[in-house]
Structure 1
Amino acid sequence: MEYRKIGNSDLELSAITFGAWAAGGWMWGGTERKDAIDAIKKSYDEGVTSIDTAPIYGQGESEEIVAEAIQGMGRDKVQILTKYGMRWDLAKGDFAMKSKNNQGQDIDVYKYAGKESIIKECEDSLRRLKTDYIDLYQIHWPDSTTPIQESMEAVAQLIKEGKVRYAGVCNYSAEQVKEASNYIDIVSDQVPYSMVKREIEKELVPYSIENSKSIIAYSPLERGLLTGKMKPGHEFAEGDHRAGLYFFKDENLKRVDAFLNKIKPLAEDKNATLAQLVLRWTIDQPGITVALAGARNAEQSVQNANAIHIKLSQEEIDFISTELNKLELVK
């Protein structure tokens, strides 16, 4: 595995980090707890020491699964990344969405990052994770109802108390990262980035490189789209949020499939799957420090971890990028 320094901190994360959203089941059509725990354990055996989770994933279930999976590993051997600022048990802040919990009950989700809420959320996460500190604590989404200063000063207090090691953000623009950095050392921004979603290359990537901030890329496989396993006519399980996303329209599945077929020989040449080739390309992009890869079972998590062993020459990266630039998706 490769381990990469986050921002100017002494925190090092595995370049492929385990993304535990799907493990929590919420919005992914449920989860098998035993499989999720096994997936985390097996990826750890492959050198994936970093795990990204959040309270909202399964309304606490993902964090509990992470806690169970890392028991006995030695707390200093793993890096726990979690988040704050999405409440399903409090109607305050920016309304985010109507959803259902894993029991099928209706819930309203709010983006809220007021000071008292962050302090409470941290205590709840520490309890669920069965730990006394969080390595990287990240605001999940911007909250327009709370000043950035208030949120960041709350995290600064948690760092002072030893409950959090480093502060990160998620889904922040370069401008927002800049503002947050006035109040606390922001070491990372976790944002969506994949072969078919590259908007951050315009502003956030240059800003991050210039200011020594790390980018943690989530959904690098675009929720399974770039694995090559999804064909036109794909049926999603009930409760799977992907069913409503434009990426998964039949026409786009067809176009992505054609692109993947062009780069498939390169994957085969390296004895790799398409998903592994895509993950390697992602962490080789300028400014991208870490890619989050989710898995529902051990086989998937081991495959994701092994993407690290692929080596791409500049010529091969350029070939992939050239083919990628010809791909246009319909919205």
Structure 2
Amino acid sequence: MEYRQLGKSNVSVSAVTFGAWAIGGWMWGGSEHKDAIKAIQTSIDEGVTSIDTAPIYGQGYSEELVGEALQGVNRDKVQVLTKFGMRWDLASPHGELAMKSKDNQGNAIDVYKYAGRDSVIKECEDSLRRLRTDYIDLYQIHWHDSTTPIEETYEAVLRLQEQGKILEAGVCNYNVSQMKRAHAVIPLASNQVPYSMVEKGIEHEVVPYAIRENIGILAYSPLQRGILTGKIRPGHVFAEGDNRGSTRSYQPENVRRINDFLAKIKPLAESKNATLGQLVIRWTIERPGISAALVGARNADQALQNARAVQVRLSSEEIDFINKHLQALLLVS
């Protein structure tokens, strides 16, 4: 495994980081408890020391799974990354309504983007309890809350750091102007943003700013929720509760185009005894400014394959070969 320092912070993460959204079940059509625990433990055995989760993933379930899986593991040898600012459990509406959804039991929930001072403090305490830990290595706002000043939010995060409840502060899904405001209150270790072969918008402004300011970039959904593994074919039927079919990359014409692209780079993967997914992960962590790729796994086999992506080596010529075919890939809206 490779390990990379997040900016100027004291936290280093594994280049392949375990993304714990899928094991929470929410928006993924459910989750199998034993498989989820084994996926985390297998990742750790393979050198994946960093686990990224969030309260909203299964409405606390993902964090509980992470906490359970880490029992008996040397806490100083792993990095727990979690988030705040997506509330489904408010007694009364606060902040900005993000979505109407359903929990894993099918109950209707309203999810609010809210990061007021007291809410941030409460969420941290709740996460520490679910994660069964005394501190969080990286604490990140999940989405920008337009109703709360960024300064108020990150002053609360600074207090948590001073109390030793978190080690470093990060953001997720922030643009450059938002990053600047948070960074002025507390040094940011990272920004966690969507990034994949078919979603490269951060390359225009966010990545150059992060490189300039020495802030890490955690790339989430590098496999575009699975389609870049080559295992999603036209006509694929998703389980109930799995919302991938409604997203842009999973529209029938785009599924076809992405699979045509993957067919062109598959021989390169095969020449390295690697899967397409492993090739895509390796390409991702080779990109300028990218500190780590957050990759989800729902069972031990997926976790093993993800972790071993770091063993793939790509020459500059091979990266150019991939990029040449990638430039010709155009998705429809």
TM-score category, normalised to shorter length: over 0.9
- From 143, 146, 149, the counterpart of 2:145: 143
Letter in 2 for 1:306: R
Q: Distance in 1 between matches of 2:181 and 2:265?
A: 40
- From 153, 160, 184, the counterpart of 2:155: 153
Q: Distance in 1 between matches of 2:112 and 2:324?
A: 40
Partner-residue secondary structure (3-state), 1:135: strand
Matched, 1:17 2:17: yes
Shift in Å at residue 74 of structure 1? 1.1
Q: Name the counterpart of 2:118.
A: 116
Shift in Å at residue 249 of structure 1? 1.2
| Deviations 1:260-282, CA, capped at 9 Å, x for gaps | 00000000000000000000000
TM-score (norm 2): 0.99
User: Given that residues 3 and 12 in structure 2 are in contact (C-alpha distance below 8 angstroms), is that contact kept between their aligned partners in structure 1?
Assistant: yes
Q: Distance in 1 between matches of 2:181 and 2:271?
A: 46
Partner-residue secondary structure (3-state), 1:263: helix
Shift in Å at residue 178 of structure 1? 1.0
Gaps of 5+ in 2: none
| Aligned positions of 1:236-315 closer than 5 A | 236-315=238-317
Matched, 1:320 2:322: yes
Q: Distance in 2 between matches of 1:322 and 1:273?
A: 20
| Deviations 1:267-319, CA, capped at 9 Å, x for gaps | 00000000000000000000100100000000000000000000100110111
Q: Distance in 1 between matches of 2:190 and 2:118?
A: 23
| Deviations 1:218-247, CA, capped at 9 Å, x for gaps | 000000010000111010001101021121
Shift in Å at residue 179 of structure 1? 1.2
Shift in Å at residue 155 of structure 1? 0.3
Shift in Å at residue 2 of structure 1? 0.1
Letter in 2 for 1:287: G
Partner-residue secondary structure (3-state), 1:224: helix
- From 155, 162, 174, the counterpart of 1:172: 174
User: Given that residues 10 and 168 in structure 2 are in contact (C-alpha distance below 8 angstroms), is that contact kept between their aligned partners in structure 1?
Assistant: no
Shift in Å at residue 10 of structure 1? 1.9
Q: Name the counterpart of 1:100.
A: 102
Partner-residue secondary structure (3-state), 1:108: strand
Shift in Å at residue 253 of structure 1? 0.8
| Aligned positions of 1:45-124 closer than 5 A | 45-90=45-90, 91-124=93-126
- From 127, 130, 134, the counterpart of 1:128: 130
| Aligned positions of 1:181-200 closer than 5 A | 181-200=183-202
Partner-residue secondary structure (3-state), 2:318: helix
Shift in Å at residue 250 of structure 1? 1.2
Runs of 4+ in 1 over 3 A off after TM superposition: none
| Aligned positions of 1:190-229 closer than 5 A | 190-229=192-231
Matched length: 331
Percent identical among aligned pairs is 66
Q: Name the counterpart of 2:29.
A: 29
Gaps of 5+ in 1: none
Q: Distance in 2 between matches of 1:24 and 1:77?
A: 23
Partner-residue secondary structure (3-state), 1:178: helix
Letter in 1 for 2:87: R
Q: Distance in 2 between matches of 1:146 and 1:241?
A: 29
User: Given that residues 13 and 79 in structure 2 are in contact (C-alpha distance below 8 angstroms), is that contact kept between their aligned partners in structure 1?
Assistant: yes
User: Given that residues 144 and 174 in structure 2 are in contact (C-alpha distance below 8 angstroms), is that contact kept between their aligned partners in structure 1?
Assistant: yes
Letter in 2 for 1:119: I
Q: Distance in 2 between matches of 1:249 and 1:145?
A: 33
| Deviations 1:99-134, CA, capped at 9 Å, x for gaps | 000111000000000000000000000000000100
Shift in Å at residue 31 of structure 1? 0.2
TM-score (norm 1): 0.99
Q: Distance in 2 between matches of 1:79 and 1:60?
A: 18
Partner-residue secondary structure (3-state), 1:182: helix
| Deviations 1:116-173, CA, capped at 9 Å, x for gaps | 0000000000000000100000000000000000000000000000000000000000
Partner-residue secondary structure (3-state), 1:271: coil
Please, which moves more after superposition, 241-250 or 263-272?
A: 241-250
CA root-mean-square deviation: 0.5
Shift in Å at residue 9 of structure 1? 1.1
Letter in 2 for 1:26: W
Q: Distance in 1 between matches of 2:83 and 2:287?
A: 25
Q: Distance in 2 between matches of 1:167 and 1:10?
A: 11
